[in-house]
Chain A
Amino acid sequence: MKKVFIFLLILFFLFLPKISSEYWTFIAIEVLIMGFFAMSFNLLMGYSGLLSFGHAGFFGVGAYTTAILLQHGFNSLFLILLIAIIVSLICSVVIGYLSVRQDEIYFAMITLGFGMMLYTIAHNWTDFTGGSDGLPLMNEPILNLFGKKISLISPENLYFFTFVIVFIGILILWKIINSPFGLILKGMRENKNRLNFSGGNISSIRLFAFTISGTLSGVAGFLFCLFSSMATPDFLHWSFSAKPVIMSILGGAWNFYGPMVGAAIFFALEQFIKMYTDNWMIFLGILLIPITILFPKGVLGTIYDYAKKRYNSKS
């Protein structure tokens, strides 16, 4: 039942650009990237119980690495992706190492601080990053796939490229949360004290989770740079870090696909409200209040719980 559902969902995503307009294809790309960013972030918030407010930093590092490399004549997208992964991995390890000893609000604040340091670099180091204007992609990103050159300017091609990368990323996350390490993370969320007194080294477990989460956020940044054809300091701003928080809570932080569903709802609401007014954030805020009251575990999380209860009472 569940497998059939996932299969249909994948089928839907595969044929989406064939059946929708370019406009909606672009929105679908944005949902996939931001949903994947939120899912990576949620490995920390939902699974490990750590609220990082600096994840936009890693997202931005991925985006800027891509933009800078493309500007300097690198043309293999796979090589660029690899370098983006390495750079965001290094940033995650360093920032993670300095943050994981803190708890709760202190952890949130220290990650916010590091995120803003990265923002300041992107904003003020004008020669290298283009300053507040950002760094536009001068060269057309071309994917070299077995000798075939595919331009990612075409929304359909970009969509499939994004879909494949996001799919692999989600597969990695799925493997991790179903591994022994995944259960250890949930244990840390539930009771880090007990975990410590069962033989778990809290700082080390957190550092691993932080590094995985930050690196995958960098991959999301890489995709987002191709999507928006530029990298700007906004990607690193702390308010950008709030997006995955909202998406995770909206969809359900305790559900694997919750953040992706949250991202879809987020952009659907944006599109819907923007038909009437440009100040869509105000109305989004107003709508978020009843949604969080009606769906305390997020939209997907609450529906899933309800379905499980119905299923259990039947059998």
Chain B
Amino acid sequence: MTTQKKDTILKVDNIHHSYGKFKVLNGISLEVKRGGITALIGPNGAGKTTFYNVISGKFPPTRGKIYFNNIDITGFPPHKIVKLKLLRSFQITNIFPELTVEENILIPLILKRGKCYSFFKDLKKYKEFYIEAENIMNNLGLIEFKNRTVSELAYGDKRLVEIGITFASDPEMILLDEPTAGMNPAETERTVNLIKDLSEKSNVTFFITEHDMNVVFSVSEYIFVLHQGSLLAQGTPEEIKNNQEVKEAYLGGSV
């Protein structure tokens, strides 16, 4: 594992993105190492979500290259990037609201196994899908809500369902866009522990954005700081805490 941790899973080379004339990303280059939890922070409007959208294929960068596991994925559509096992969650809860928790988890499993175009075989005959879904729901503490419609669940549980959907696709790397946004302190703690737990149990590389500084400093091993569409700093949590530029640009008096 220790040798693996040294290689790069995601490499971003000088990417630019603009909405019309408004430049959001100004040539960002960074490398994320395999394994563990890496964080991306920055004040509102720094371009964090746009950065994720570009990496995950929602829109291509106007300039620059993205490599995942040394494969050039620049301009790939989302479903092809998913097939390479780079997954993402969304800042605004993005689930299948009127389906049950189990169905929400089954959908990515079907897609992962390439059974999307199985038209005539009864879904219930795919026993292995249900077993796998059960495992994922157990890991996330969602098993008691198995047959509940997701739209009826509490906000924190909905966010967990979303992590479950992301996890079901058997990812090598997950981009989590503000996984604790809008959560109360108890829910935040539960989610943070869960992410730590998932990261320790699996080989998945987590790349998260977060606005809650306590969360960022407690979970991440390495931090990138975005500011006005450019990379301002990078380093371990200690280095970032003590970086004068970061303090001025972003943290203000709070640390």
Interface residues of A (CB under 8 A from B): 175-176, 178-184, 186-187, 190-191, 193-202, 205, 208, 212
Contact = CB atoms under 8 A, between A and B. Distances in A.
B110 A183 contact: yes
Given A182-B123, A198-B107, 12 more contacts: A179-B122, A181-B116, A187-B96, A190-B96, A190-B97, A194-B90, A194-B96, A195-B96, A197-B79, A198-B169, A199-B83, A208-B119
Contact of A187 (B107, B117, B118, B121): B107
Contacts of A212: 119
From A182, A186, A190, name the one whose CB has the most chain B CB atoms within 10 angstroms. Answer: A190
A193 B94 contact: yes
A176 B56 contact: no
Given A175-B119, A175-B120, A181-B117, A199 B108 contact: yes
Contacts of A175: 119-120, 122
Q: Which 6 A-B pairs have the closest CB atoms?
A: A199-B82, A190-B96, A199-B111, A198-B108, A180-B110, A187-B107
Interface of B: 56, 77-79, 82-83, 87-88, 90, 94-99, 103, 106-108, 110-112, 115-124, 126, 165, 168-169
A184 B169 contact: no
A176 B96 contact: no
29 contacts: A175-B119, A175-B122, A176-B119, A176-B120, A178-B124, A179-B118, A180-B123, A183-B99, A184-B111, A187-B96, A187-B107, A190-B99, A191-B97, A194-B165, A195-B107, A196-B78, A197-B82, A197-B87, A197-B90, A198-B87, A198-B108, A198-B165, A199-B79, A199-B82, A199-B83, A199-B111, A200-B79, A200-B111, A201-B79
Contacts of A178: 122-124
A182 B214 CA distance: 43
Given A183-B103, A199-B108, A191 B95 contact: yes
Contacts of B87: 197-198
Contacts of B96: 186-187, 190-191, 194-195
A198 B123 CA distance: 18
B127 to A, nearest CB: 13
A176 B168 CA distance: 23
Contacts of B112: 199
Given A194-B96, A198-B82, A179 B88 contact: no
Where chain A touches its partner, the secondary structure class is helix
A203 to B, nearest CB: 9
A183 B111 CA distance: 11
B126 A180 contact: yes
A46 to B, nearest CB: 12
Nearest to A193: B94
Contact of B99 (A179, A186, A198, A200): A186
Nearest to B89: A197
Nearest to A175: B120
B83 to A, nearest CB: 6
B120 A179 contact: yes
Contact of B79 (A180, A183, A196): A196
A181 B87 CA distance: 22
A205 B116 contact: yes
Nearest to B122: A178
Contacts of B90: 194, 197
Given A179-B118, A179-B122, A181-B118, A190 B98 contact: yes
Contacts of B107: 183-184, 187, 195, 198, 200
Nearest to B84: A199
A246 B137 CA distance: 40
A181 B111 contact: no
A165 to B, nearest CB: 18
A49 to B, nearest CB: 11
A200 B103 contact: no
Nearest to A178: B122
A311 to B, nearest CB: 14
B251 to A, nearest CB: 31
A270 to B, nearest CB: 32
A1 to B, nearest CB: 19
B115 to A, nearest CB: 4
Contacts of B56: 197
